Amino acid sequence: MDTSPPRQVILQDWGLVGYLEAWDRQTALFQEIIRRKTGPQKSNETGPYHLIFCEHRPVVTLGRSGKENHLLINEELLKLKGIEFYKINRGGDITYHGPGQTVMYPILDMEHFFTDVHRYIRSLENIVIRTLAHFELEAFRNPKYTGVWLQSRQDRQPKKICAIGVHMSRWVTLHGLAFNIHTDLSPFEYIIPCGIRDPDKGVTSLHLETDIAIDPLQIQSMLAGFFETEFQCTLNIQSVEG
């Protein structure tokens, strides 16, 4: 029997936040965990770790394995459209973030959970798949690509509803998933989403697939609940000062 104390994860909702600010803030939390486990006063504490929810102002991000030609318009024109652009250190290719999209960033030391990158990504996918099942949507994984897919009711073609891109250092996680809820999908036309050139594999949102009003706080609550189950931890809600 496992008699160790439950893993403690602090949950915060950062609201609508610029991408660079959120990247800096999550990086500071990430580096603090690494400092705790590698510094002169090494600690074997099992937390606290962090689960961050937010939405981003319009931004295109390019991951480490991404190709710049997957951005279909130049950066200057992107800027004129009010969309920022950053090259970042997560895995994966190119994607878009914007209002109406729920972004979830787990910042965990996986040595206190499980040390398996593929299982970690599958766990994130599973959280979204279980959330979609609540809306009677049968989501699935694609063996070629990370993320969560479903057969769109719009044209019966497979479409991605959630993108996943992560980074790990010393088994500490950074970045996470972006789940389209009632997102304006038109900016995806400026990129080749996730580098997938197949014209039959587009993007969709929960609103388009259900045609009902979606409460983002309900989505957060469901994701958080499934996160606790998937990672066998206890979430402690913490308000954001300021």
The per-residue pLDDT string of the chain (242 residues; one tens digit each, 9 = 90 and over) reads 455 667 899 999 999 999 999 999 999 999 999 998 887 766 666 678 999 999 999 999 999 988 899 999 999 999 999 999 999 999 889 999 999 999 999 999 999 999 999 999 999 999 999 999 999 999 999 888 899 999 999 888 999 999 999 999 999 999 999 999 999 999 999 998 877 777 667 999 999 999 888 999 999 999 999 999 999 999 999 987 64
Cα distances (Å, whole numbers) of residue 143 to 90, 102, 194, 227: 20, 24, 14, 22
CB atoms within 10 A of CB 122: 15
Question: Has 233 been annotated as catalytic?
Answer: no
pTM for this prediction? 0.93
Active-site residue identified among 54, 162, 194, 233: 194
Contact (CB, 8 A) for 182 and 100: yes
Among candidate residues 34, 10, 158, 146, the one with its CA nearest the CA of residue 90: 146
Contact (CB, 8 A) for 18 and 60: no
**7-237 belongs to which homologous superfamily?**
Bira Bifunctional Protein; Domain 2 (3.30.930.10)
